[in-house]
Amino acid sequence: MVNGTDDSMLYTLPQEELFELFLTLSGQLSLLWNAFLKFHRVNKTKILEYLHDAWAIDRKAEWSIWTVHSKIEIPHRYLRSMNDESSHRHSLLRVSGSRKFHDDPAQNSASRAELHRKSIAQMKINTQSVQDMHIYADPSHVPVVLIEQHVMVVPQHSSSKDLASNASEQKDTIVLPKLQGEPLVPKSSVGKKSGRILRAVIFVHGFQGHHLDLRLVRNQWLLLDPGADCLMSEANEDKTSGDFKEMGSRLAGEVIAFLKKKMDKLSRYGGCKELKLSFVGHSIGNIIIRSALAEPALQPYLKNLYTYMSISGPHLGYWYSSNSLFNSGLWLLKKLKNAQCIHQLTFSDDQDPHNTYFYKLCKLKTLENFKNIILLSSPQDGYVPYHSARMELCPAASSDTSKKGQVFTEMLNNCLDQIRAPSSDTRTFMRCDVNFDQSNHGRSLNTMIGRAAHIEFLETDIYAKFIMWSFPDLFR
C-alpha cells in the first residue's frame, strides 16, 4: 500500500474479517512450528551429531593455536638388541650422530614452547562462537603442547596376517573371554550384528594419590564419548608404597570385576559384541597399569586393548634423573619408609640390574596390543625424568658405556620393540610435551623441585582438551 487512502482501508475492515485474518496467520505459523518440531524429533540424533561435529571442528581449528605438530619416525637403530659391548658402543655412536645429544632435550622443548608462547601473545584471537573465555582471557598463560606423532604401518608377517583375518572374521561375534556365569551365545546369533560395544576406560592414580585425581581427564573423555564406561581405580589407594607386582595384581582383579559387571548389564540388551579397553595413568599409576597387564588374569583381554594414555609415567625408572633435590628425597624415602616401589624405581631392589623389577617388566609384552599409545611429558616436571616419560634415549645414557648404560638401552629397546610389534595393521604412537605457564607460581619450592608441573597435569584439563579434540578417534 502506497498512499494514505490505501492504508486507511485496513482499518475499515469489519472486525470479523480482521479476526479471520489473524486466525489464518496463526494457523499457518502453528503449522510451520509443528513441522519444525516434528523434524527435530525425528532427526534429533543427526542434528545433535551435526552440531557436535561442527563445534568440534571449530574448536580444533582454534585450539590448534597452542599445539605444534610434527611427524617423526622412530629410529630403527634404537630397536636392535645389543649382545656385546662393542655393538652397543657402535649403536650409541650412530644414535648420537643423528641427534644433537649435547643439547638438553628438555631444555630444547621448553625453549620451543616459549618461542611459540611469545608468538601467541602477539596474535589477536577473534571467536564468534559460544566459548569458554577462560582460554581466551590471557592466551599467553595457556599450556603449549608439542605433539610428535608416529603413525606406523606395522610389517605384517604370515602369522600376523592370519591373526588379522581371524580378527576380521570375528568382528561381529563375541570376542570377549568367557566369564564364569556368563550365558552361552547361541550358534544362530553368531555373525549377526546384535549386542553392543563396551568401551571401558580405566583411570589409575599415582603415588599416594586419590582415585578421583584424573577426574578432569575423565570428564573430557566423556564429552568426546558419552557412552564410555569409566572406572576410577581404588584398588591401590593408600597402598602405593608397596611392590608393583602386588599393586598390578590388585588392579587386574578390580578391572576384571568391573568388566564382568558391565557385561552382565549388557546381557539384557543383546550382549556385548565387542570390547574396547583403554587405560589412563598418572605417574607410577602407569607402572601399575603395565604390571596389571602382565598378570595372567588379564591375558584374555589383551586383544581388546585400544588406547593407552600415559601422563608423566616413569616407564624407564629413575636412572639418569638430573633433579638432585628430588633424588635426595627418594633416598630419604628409601631409608626412612623403606618403600618397595621406590627401590624398584631406582633399581636398588637387586644388585644385578638384569634381575630388577623394571628390567623384567620392560621385557614383558605390556604395550604391543594397544592400537594407540600416547605418552605425555613435561620438561618442567622434575618428579619424573623427561626421557623416562617419553621412552627415549637421554644424553647421559648415550654416553654411558658401563653395564648400567647397556641395561638401560636394552630396556628402551624392549619397550619400543613392543610398539613396533605386528599385532595390528597400524598403530598410532604419540609423544606430547606439555609446557605449562608457571609465571603465576613464582619461585617456590614446588617449582624448584618440579612438583608444580607434575601436579598441574591433575589440576587442569586444557592440555587434555587440545590433545583429545585434535585426535577424537583415539578416544572413542
Confidence category of residue 14, pLDDT binned at 50, 70, 90: confident
Integer Cα distance of 416 and 74 in angstroms: 9
Pairwise pLDDT comparison (131 vs 250), residue with the higher score: 250
Residue 46 lies in a domain: no
Confidence category of residue 8, pLDDT binned at 50, 70, 90: low
Stretch 64-90: mean pLDDT, rounded? Answer: 61
The answer on pLDDT for 235 being more than 90 is: yes
The answer on pLDDT for 2 being more than 80 is: no
Residue 445 lies in a domain: yes
Residue 35 lies in a domain: no
pLDDT at 154: 54
The answer on pLDDT for 111 being more than 50 is: yes
The answer on pLDDT for 252 being more than 90 is: yes
Say what the pTM is: 0.78
pLDDT at 183: 40
CA 440 to chain centre: 27
Count the domains in the chain: 1
Strand, helix or coil at 353? helix
Residue 206 lies in a domain: yes
pLDDT at 135: 65
Stretch 234-252: mean pLDDT, rounded? Answer: 95
The answer on pLDDT for 136 being more than 80 is: no
Indicate the average pLDDT of the chain: 81
Residue 425 lies in a domain: yes
Strand, helix or coil at 401? coil
pLDDT at 159: 38
Pairwise pLDDT comparison (81 vs 225), residue with the higher score: 225
Q: What is the DSSP letter of 361?
A: H
Stretch 29-53: mean pLDDT, rounded? Answer: 89
Q: Contact, 266 vs 198, CB < 8 A?
A: yes
The share of the chain scoring above pLDDT 70, in percent, equals 78
237 grid coordinates:
589407594
Encode pLDDT of 160-180 as tens digits. 344 334 333 333 333 344 444
Reported for 251-256, long-range contacts at CB under 8 A and 24+ positions apart, including other chains, are: 251/202, 251/204, 251/288, 251/289, 251/291, 251/292, 252/292, 252/293, 252/295, 252/297, 252/298, 253/297, 255/202, 255/231, 255/292, 255/298, 255/301, 256/297, 256/298, 256/301
Encode pLDDT of 267-310 as tens digits. 888 888 899 999 999 999 999 999 999 999 999 999 999 999 99
Angle subtended by helix axes 44-63 and 462-470, to nearest 10:
110
Stretch 196-206: mean pLDDT, rounded? Answer: 95
Residue 268 lies in a domain: yes
Residue 128 lies in a domain: no
pLDDT at 76: 59
The answer on pLDDT for 96 being more than 70 is: no
pLDDT at 16: 83
pLDDT at 476: 85
pLDDT at 176: 46
Confidence category of residue 225, pLDDT binned at 50, 70, 90: very high
Residue 350's CATH number: 3.40.50.1820
Confidence category of residue 128, pLDDT binned at 50, 70, 90: low
Residue-range definition of the domain harbouring residue 387: 54-123+134-181+197-475
Residue 32 lies in a domain: no
Q: Which of 236-245, 316-325, 336-345 holds the top average pLDDT?
A: 236-245
Encode pLDDT of 400-423 as tens digits. 889 999 999 999 999 988 888 765
Q: What is the DSSP letter of 182?
A: P
Question: How many CB atoms are closer than 10 A to CB 93?
Answer: 11
Beta strand segments in 268-424, E: 272-282, 305-311, 372-377
The answer on pLDDT for 320 being more than 70 is: yes
